[in-house]
Amino acid sequence: MKIAVVGTGYVGLVAGTCFAESGNEVTCVDVDERKVRALQEGRVPIYEPGLEELLHRNSAAHRLHFTTDLGKAVSSAQVVFIAVGTPEGESGDADLQYVLAAAEGIGKAMKQYTVVVDKSTVPVGTADKVRETISKVTSVEFDVVSNPEFLKEGAALEDFLKPDRVVIGTSSERARRIMGELYAPFVRTENPILFMDARSAELTKYAANAMLATRISFMNDVAALCEKVGADVEFVRKGLGSDKRIGYPFLHPGCGYGGSCFPKDVKALVATAREFGLELDLLRAVERTNARQKRSLLAKALRHYGDVADRTFAVWGLAFKPKTDDMREAPAVELIEGLLGKGARVQVHDPVAAKVAERYFGNRVLYAPSNYAAAEGADGLFLVTEWNEFRRPDFKKLKSLMKEHVIFDGRNIFDPVRVKEEGFAYYGIGRS
């Protein structure tokens, strides 16, 4: 099948590469000439485990192409995916200007019946707006489908190639048949393709991310209560997770969620509800809890030291989660800005996000080549992102490097008893 993917950001690049891997001929389109040239040369602009290898293989097999020519890519395609950005608007809603601009360009370029697919995360009613936009510029027959993505950064290839479910929103039997054929190679393990109307598909994406964000914020509220009453959140978490109605996923307390999805999607869902006269009080509380949690590590440091001015701190982990270089809404950003704002010096290390961090902090922090180098001379260590290489440090070496021996564990990856036995003061999230 011939496919065009408009937008080579995280979603578009992963989707296009994976569709090519299943034997389709895919052309990815972007307006950024430098980005397209880099992709043509095999240079991937984002960090995602396994993506570069898959891109090289499919480019070499001439199944995956990159271009700035939207007309050429769309005119021969049976299915066109819109995977452009939907940045947060001033009121928290999703800004659809890039989606609708892509839709207009697609409409002008179509030469035959085409299935136009909203792959970007978009609010309820977007499929109708895309359909209206295309109808104004073409008489060619087409259908609009909502097909939200459910990719976890750091595990996107696995999620796409072996999905829990594929959600397809359409009222067209013709489009349903084509989309079913396209996704058939990915659902042979009996994981379902869920067909529904477009509005339900659009809402499913937001509802899923809002539910996951709610679980995180709920657990962070429980962790805060644990600290007040002297309980240990790890015991509480195990007691909750063992209930089959609840389960363990997303019950890990920490220093807040970030990334490109949860913060933006929760805000967008709240904004959509408000348009219809409904206040989603639970999700507004989720946002407030997350904002508080991002300040929790700095608050613990201020309680311990009283004043952090002229002190030096190590920060391990900058990305919002492991296996990505994405720092959008990352808890580390707020922590570091808070430390710098109070006169502290900050030494940071992240296995892949250092270059991205330079766009946030410039030369205001020291970028260390290793986690131990970041800890040298530090008055305290903040663990913010739970990369595997941080989980089992040499505490004796760490102690010899640090000026003062204090650890702020924002992800509860260390054993408090072990850390204290090694001579460190330990502050976790909800740990007794």
DSSP letters spanning 135-193: HTT--S-EEEEE----PPTTSHHHHHHS-S-EEEE-S-HHHHHHHHHHHGGG-TTSPPE
Q: Where in the chain is the domain with CATH 1.10.1040.10?
A: 205-292
Q: Where in the chain is the domain with CATH 3.40.50.720?
A: 2-195, 295-427
Distance CA 110, CA 214 (A): 42
- Tell whether residue 254 is among the known ligand binding residues: yes
- Tell whether residue 85 is among the known ligand binding residues: no
Name the 3-class secondary structure at 253: coil
Provide the H-helix boundaries in 276-415: 281-294, 296-305, 331-341, 354-361, 371-375, 395-401
**CATH no. for 205-292:** 1.10.1040.10
- Tell whether residue 152 is among the known ligand binding residues: yes
Distance CA 264, CA 162 (A): 26
* Nearest of 243, 224, 246 to residue 233 by alpha carbon: 224
Handedness of CA 157, 43, 325, 97 (dihedral sign): negative
The enclosing H or E element of 367 equals strand 366-367
Catalytic residues: 261
**CATH no. for 295-427:** 3.40.50.720
Strands 2-6 and 25-29: parallel
Contact 74, 68 (CB under 8 A): no
Residues of the chain with pLDDT under 70: 189-190
- Tell whether residue 121 is among the known ligand binding residues: yes
Residue 91: predicted pLDDT: 73
What residues form DSSP beta bridges with 401?
none
From residue 325, alpha-carbon distances to 91, 331, 352 in Å are: 27, 13, 6
- Tell whether residue 62 is among the known ligand binding residues: no
Burial 152-170 (b: 16+ CB within 10 A, else e): ebbbbbebbeebeebbbbb
User: In this predicted model, what pLDDT tens digit does every residue of 53-112 receive, in sequence order?
Assistant: 999 999 999 999 999 999 999 999 999 999 999 888 777 788 899 999 999 999 999 999
Distance CA 261, CA 39 (A): 24
**Selecting from 2.60.120.620, 3.60.70.12, 3.40.50.720, 3.40.228.10, what CATH number does the domain 2-195 have?**
3.40.50.720
Record the tokens describing residue 330, joined without a space: 């990352």
